[in-house]
Amino acid sequence: MGEAEIIPIEGRDRRSVKPQAETRAIPRCRAVTKEGKPCKKDAVSADGYCSVHAKTQSNERSQHPSARSSSRGIVRDRQQPDPLGIEEFLRRRISGDYPVDDFGYDEQLSREVLMPLVKPLYETYFRVRTLGIDRIPATGAALLICNHSGTIPLDAVMVQYAVATEHAQRRLVRNVGADLVWRMPLIGPLARKSGNVVACDEDAYELIRRGELIGVFPEGYKGVGKGWSERYKLQRFGRGGYVELALRTKTPIIPVAIVGAEEAYPMIFNAKLLAKVFGFPYFPITPTFPALGPLGLLPLRSRWVIEFGEPIPMDDHPEDAAEDPMYVFDQSDRVRDTIQQMLYANLNKRGGAFF
């Protein structure tokens, strides 16, 4: 697997990236396939479905007049889910009568089941402290550019949980996931149902058009798979594809610095031969894994600090800035330097890594 797969908005030739208005000239079908993936066919009906799913919608409306149906459940415009009793929740799961958006996000499952499971890890175990979360806008699109570390990418989960529970509007962060995530049993489907998205330029533009928050981790595997000796030293931010996206759509960038993930799974050695055998980008050897077997997968109880920096406006740059590779690289390097300085400052604020 090449490293270009890590961040979708960087993984394609920049000449193939079109402005948002051009990219969505022909709308995509709003349905979800049986595998839980967005349908890629062009919409032909007035309500936004392809020829195949338009027939399905016509049949389903007679049974569910207030909703539009998908193969995995009833898809409604996303709104805050009502708390359900256990019996009612299970009934809807079994019957397929639950809301899912066209990216596969299952808000009721995420808010009522998955996030409560993360809560003790976030509040009690890692004791996460957030700074500057009010800098995230109440509405509208933004790119959250984060450092990536910790062998197992728990940092993405913690950022998503922080914004969904501590922000005044309880907003969803759509983290961009590498291909490996979607190939993993259980992890892939849960990641999609939690609101994360596939590495795809088209999806990124559509999410921005809808005013969503997108979480990007430009270091990719280079960051999450780096050794203990490189802790809190940011790796290269690729070719700056996220900057191109921000410049073309005039979307603000919010730098995010995450302290604590490095100590949760300190990687002392990368077994490259085993990584090659299993098809992984790296194979971590930590103080507890694989020595303690499955118990070694438990993270160490490090203390976390997540800071959301001041938004960086992207609407005051030259119109053709996204076409200049050197200009894009320079802007990406400035974002990287900002996050690096935030990391150093928060390491001092946190004090001890565990106590």
Helix (H, G, I), strand (E, B) or coil at 287: coil
Give residue 12's pLDDT: 43
Instruction: Look at 79-83, 153-157, 187-191, 252-256 and tell me which has the smallest mean pLDDT.
Output: 79-83
**pLDDT tens-digit readout, 137-154:** 999 999 999 999 988 889
Domain chopping of the chain, boundaries: 26-90, 103-350
Query: 227 is written with which tokens?
Result: 């050794």
Mean pLDDT of 266-277: 92
Distance of CA 157 to the CA centre of its chain: 8
Q: How many other CB atoms sit within 10 Å of the CB of residue 265? A: 25
Residue-wise pLDDT for 20-29, tens only, equals: 444 445 677 7
Question: In this model, does residue 192 exceed pLDDT 80?
Answer: yes
- Token pair of 97 as six digits: 């009568």
- E strands, 72-189, in order: 73-75, 129-131, 142-146, 173-177
Instruction: Report the percentage of the chain scoring pLDDT > 90.
Output: 57
8 Å CB contact between 36 and 22: no
Return the minimum-mean-pLDDT range out of 10-19, 38-47, 305-314. Answer: 10-19
Is pLDDT above 70 for 69?
Answer: no
DSSP string, 75-95: E----PPPP--HHHHHHHHHH
CATH hierarchy code of domain 103-350? 3.40.1130
